[in-house]
Structure 1
Amino acid sequence: MSVKVNITSKGIQKVLKNYNERQAIAEYIWNGFDANANTIYVDYVSNPLGLLTELTIADNGYGINFDRLPQKFEPFFESEKSIQIVAPKHTSKMHGRNGVGRLTFFTFAHDAVWHTTYQSDQGFHNGEIRINTGGLNNYSSDFSTVPGHTGTTGTTVSFTNLKISQQDIETIVLPFLINEFCWFIELNKHKNYSIIVNGEALDFSSNIKSIEEFKLVYPDTAVTFKIKYVHWKENLHKELSKYYFLAGGEEIYKDYTTLNKKSDDYFHSVYIDSDFFRDFDFKSFENEEQVAIFGAAKSSAEYRFLIKALTEYLKSKRKPFLKEYANNLIQSYEQDGVFPVYASEREKDLRKPPLVNLIKALYEIEPKLFGGLNTDQKKTIVRLIDLLMRANLRDEIFEMFNGLIELDAGEQHELLQLIKGLEATEK
């Protein structure tokens, strides 16, 4: 059977222009996990020149149901606007784009063939679906029922006429997959989820900077929360830093942590497992911002206790991380000649240490103040601070930064005390 979808092949490529080969391959893996697979197999073969001759992505999920084939391979677009790759907001289930991602192979191959087996009340069905880059708006399929046959369900996608090399896979794609799926594999560790590449499990621990497990117990009701904290070395792409609320190992809900999007490369995940969440109604908050979520949780003393404790914990874990990065910032400023040139060594010894201390402290409070600046902008902000310090305008310094960045009461006090003691030298 041959079916044509309602958009041209070039139109599909235009719509999917935000995808590259790394994201496309990740999408096929997400499709497998979305199909309830716990193991994804990625296998590739290259020729003596290092170009890929074969690439397959297989899963042990429930397969592609023939009756639902139109929904999987016939995306109907209202316009040719590019599709953004967006992670689910409050659940990790159904991460893929339900069919759209299946057409992204044009980024790395010319042909794709799906071999799939699924089970219905009538028995096992085996099928094949074919698409090529020149006709992304056409697919051919052939399905049959095997009465009485028993076996296993799953899908294998084979890509041919490939446009990527073994080096691309090993130096670009695989590191991307580690960052893309590390948090998800950790979330489903008790289910033994894995991605196997050419017979070897992909090592997600390579992206772990540190990991800690502990318990929090609310004293009044003895409600216990089992916590697993993971500090990642590199970013988690669209997933960002989140709390994962689980009951008996099953994810109930997820949302951003209070330290997400702080522009400081502090990438982290917090997995919280407790029977307390079995009857917890998260859904009523899905359309609200994070502040509203945590605000509405004030009705639960246990939840308020949990979030307060975790917020303090994350801040304590972030501090040494930010101190390290603040030192790196100062080193880069030294190399780029950002600091003022002083008339004498005595003047430098008097003025530079307090300036360095203040910049470090400001970075630790709000890293985004120093993010995305070119060298001239860095010089401007540093020398403005230096001039205000030289003029002894300490109140003005506090008011300026207190207005520029959102500070809680503790951070305001910390900044004020630091500015009052600007004459102190770095310890």
Structure 2
Amino acid sequence: MSVKVNITSKGIQKVLKNYNERQAIAEYIWNGFDANANTIRLDYEANPLGLLTHLTIADNGYGINFDRLQQKFDPFFESEKAVQIVAPKHTSKMHGRNGVGRLTFFTFAHDAVWHTTYQSEQGFRDGEIRINTGGLNSYSSDFSPATSQVGATGTTVSFSNLKISQQDLETIVLPFLINEFCWFIELNKHKNYSIIVNGEALNFSSNIKSIEEFKLFYPDTSVTFKIKYVHWKENLHKELSKYYFLAGGEEIYKDYTTLNKKSDDYFHSVYIESDFFLDFDFKSFENEGQVAIFGAAKSSPEYRFLVKALTEYLKSKRKPFLKEYANNLIQGYEQDGIFPVYSSEREKELRKPALVDFIKALYELEPKLFGSLNTDQKKTIVRLIDLLMRANLHDEIFEMFNNVIELEAEEQQELLQLIKGLAPTEK
């Protein structure tokens, strides 16, 4: 059977614009997890020239039910927003919701064939779906009316006429997959979720900088929260840094941590397990922001206690991290010639150490100040600080930064104390 899919060339071009081979391969893996698989197998072979000759992605999920095949492949839309694959905000389930991911193979292959086994009322059934880049707006399919001999559900996607090399797969795609799925594998570690590449489990621990487990106990109601904190080396792509609330081993809800998007490369995940969340209504907060969800916890002393404790904990973990990165920032500024050129060694000895210390301390307070600046902008802000310090204009320094960045009351006090501690410099 051949069916034309309801998507235009314009829609396909938008998908082409938004996806590369790394994202596309990740999307097929997400499709497997969305189908309740706990194991995804990626297998490949290459010829002597290093070009891939064979690539398959297999899962042990519930398969593609051919009775609902049109629902899986037909509902594509024209708007750019619709063709983008966006994960749900407050749950880790169902990433590939609109099916567009099934067409992204054209970023790395010319042909794709789905071999699937699913369970119907009559028993296990087998099916096959074929699409090629020459006809992305149509697919052909066949299914067996007879009972399958496999006896287990699952889907294997085979890609042929590949456009990707073994080196690109191993040096670009696989590291991308580690960063894409490390938080999800950790979330489902107790379920033994895994991604197997050519027979070996992908090593997600390679992205872990540190990991700690501990408990928080609220004595008034004897509620215990089991905490697992993971500090990641590299970013988690669109997932960012989040709290994951679990009960009975199942994710109930997730939301951004209070230190998310601080422009400091502090990538972290916090997994919180407690029976307390079994009766907690998170849904009423789904359309509100991060502050609102934590603000709503004022009705629950246990939740207020939890959030306060975790916020302080994350701040304590972030401080040494920021110190390390502040040192890296100074080294980069030295190499790029950002600091002023002083007229004499004596002047340099008098002025530069205080300037360096202030910039490091300012970075630790608000890294966002130093993000996304070009060389000229870096020189301007550093030399402006140097001039204000040289003139002992401490009030002006405070006003400048207090007006430029949004600081909480506690952070304002930190900035004020930092500036008051500046030693006068000789003019």
For the aligned pair, the TM-score class normalised by the smaller chain equals over 0.9
1:14, distance to aligned residue in structure 2 (A): 3.1
> Number of aligned pairs?
425
- 2:229 — aligned with what? 229
Q: For residue 323 of structure 1, what is the aligned residue in structure 2?
A: 323
Matches of 1:137 and 1:9, distance apart in 2: 8
1:75 is aligned to: 75
Which residue in 1 is equivalent to 2:299?
A: 299
How is 1:264-275 mapped onto 2 (pairs within 5 angstroms)?
A: 264-275=264-275
Partner of 1:134: 134
Contact 1:18 1:85 in 2 (8 A): no
User: Mapping of 1:25-44 within 5 angstroms?
Assistant: 25-44=25-44
Q: Is the 8 A contact 1:124 1:145 kept in 2?
A: no
Please give the per-residue CA displacement for 1:219-238, whole angstroms capped at 9, x wherever unaligned.
21110000000000000000
CA distance in 1, matches of 2:4, 2:85: 25
Equivalence map 1:87-126=2 (5 Å) = 87-126=87-126
Shift of 1:16: 4.1
Q: 1:354 aligns to what?
A: 354
Aligned partners of 1:414, 1:262: CA distance in 2, in Å? Answer: 17
Spell out the pairing of 1:249-288 with structure 2 (5 A cutoff): 249-288=249-288
Residue pair 1:9, 1:133 contacting (<8 A) in 2 also: no
Assess, with a 3 A threshold, how the Cα gap between structure 1 residues 46 and 101 changes in structure 2: closer, same or farther: same
Query: Counterpart of 1:145 in 2: which secondary structure?
Result: coil
For residues 99-125 of structure 1, what are the alpha-carbon distances to aligned partners after superposition, in whole Å with 9 as ceiling and x for unaligned?
A: 110000000000000000000222111
Q: Which residue of 2 aligns with 1:407?
A: 407
Contact 1:123/1:145, CA 8 A, preserved across alignment: no
Contact 2:112 2:159 in 1 (8 A): yes
Alignment of 1:5-84 (within 5 A): 5-9=5-9, 11-79=11-79, 83-84=83-84
Residue 74 of structure 1, CA deviation = 1.4
Mapped contact 2:85–2:101 kept (Cα < 8 A): no
What TM-score do you get using the length of structure 2 for normalisation? Answer: 0.97
Shift of 1:10: 6.3
Q: Secondary structure at the match of 1:278?
A: helix
Pair 1:411–1:30, CA change in 2 (3 A):
same
Runs of 4+ in 1 over 6 A off after TM superposition: none
Distance 1:253 1:222 in 2: 22
Where 1:146 maps in the other structure, the secondary structure is coil
Indicate the residue corresponding to 1:197 in structure 2: 197
**Distance verdict in 2 for CA 1:187–1:313, change over 3 Å:** same
Deviations 1:316-355 (Å, cap 9, x if unpaired)?
0000000000011011111111111112222212211111
CA distance in 2, matches of 1:217, 1:77: 49
Amino acid at match of 1:281: D
Residues in 2 aligned to 1:99 and 1:230: alpha-carbon distance in whole angstroms? 31
In structure 1, how many angstroms separate the alpha carbons of the residues matched to 2:241 and 2:80? 32
Distance 1:133 1:231 in 2: 41
Residue 370 of structure 2 corresponds to 370
Contact 2:51 2:164 in 1 (8 A): yes
2:423 corresponds in structure 1 to 423
Distance 1:348 1:62 in 2: 69
The separation in 1 between residues aligned to 2:384 and 2:395, in whole angstroms, is 14
Aligned-partner SS, 1:17: helix
Query: Structure 2: how far apart are the matches of 1:191 and 1:216?
Result: 24
Q: Give the counterpart letter for 2:56 in structure 1.
A: T
Q: 1:274, 1:94 → 2: CA distance?
A: 24
Distance 2:150 2:11 in 1: 41
**Residue 380 of structure 2 is aligned to residue 389 of structure 1:** no
Partners of 1:277 and 1:91 in 2: CA distance: 14
1:291-320 CA deviation, whole Å, 9 max, x = no partner? 111111110000000000000000000000
Measure how far apart 1:149 and its partner are.
5.4
Q: Aligned letter for 1:343?
A: S
* 2:162 paired residue number: 162
CA pair 149-169 structure 1, distance change in 2 beyond 3 A = closer
Worse overlay, 341-350 or 101-110: 341-350
SS of the counterpart of 2:229? Answer: strand
CA contact under 8 A between 2:330 and 2:356: conserved in structure 1?
A: yes
Aligned equivalents of 1:282 and 1:114: distance in 2?
38
CA distance in 2, matches of 1:396, 1:80: 47
Q: Which amino acid aligns with 1:136?
A: L
> Hey, what's the Cα distance between the residues in 1 that align with 2:343 and 2:284?
63
Deviations 1:51-101 (A, max 9, x none): 000000000000001121112111331346683343321000001234110
Q: Which runs of 5+ in 1 are unaligned?
A: none
Letter in 1 for 2:95: H
Identify which range, 387-396 or 297-306, moves more after superposition. Answer: 387-396
Cα–Cα, structure 1 residues 74 and 420, in superposed 2: closer, same or farther, change >3 Å? same
Q: Corresponding residue for 1:248?
A: 248
Distance 1:169 1:404, change over 3 A: same
Alpha-carbon distance in structure 2 between the residues aligned to 1:212 and 1:21: 34
Structure 1 range deviating more: 136-145 or 302-311: 136-145
CA distance in 1, matches of 2:334, 2:228: 38
Q: Secondary structure at the match of 2:279?
A: coil
1:154 is aligned with what amino acid? G
Say whether the 8 Å CA contact 1:15–1:82 is kept in structure 2.
no
Conservation of the 8 A alpha-carbon contact between 1:53 and 1:160: yes
Q: Using the alignment, how far apart are the partners of 1:144 and 1:382 within structure 2? A: 71
Separation in 1 of the partners of 2:374 and 2:288?
36
Higher mean C-alpha deviation, range 264-273 or range 404-413: 404-413
Q: Is the 8 A contact 2:15 2:104 kept in 1?
A: no
Q: Can you list the C-alpha shifts for 1:337-383, whole angstroms capped at 9, x where unaligned?
A: 11111122222122111111111111111111111111111010001
Distance (whole Å) between structure 2 residues aligned to residue 8 and residue 406 of structure 1? 45
Output the TM-score relative to the length of structure 1.
Answer: 0.97
The sequence identity of aligned pairs, in percent, is 89
Measured on the aligned residues, the alpha-carbon RMSD in Å equals 1.5
- Runs of 5+ in structure 2 lacking a partner? none
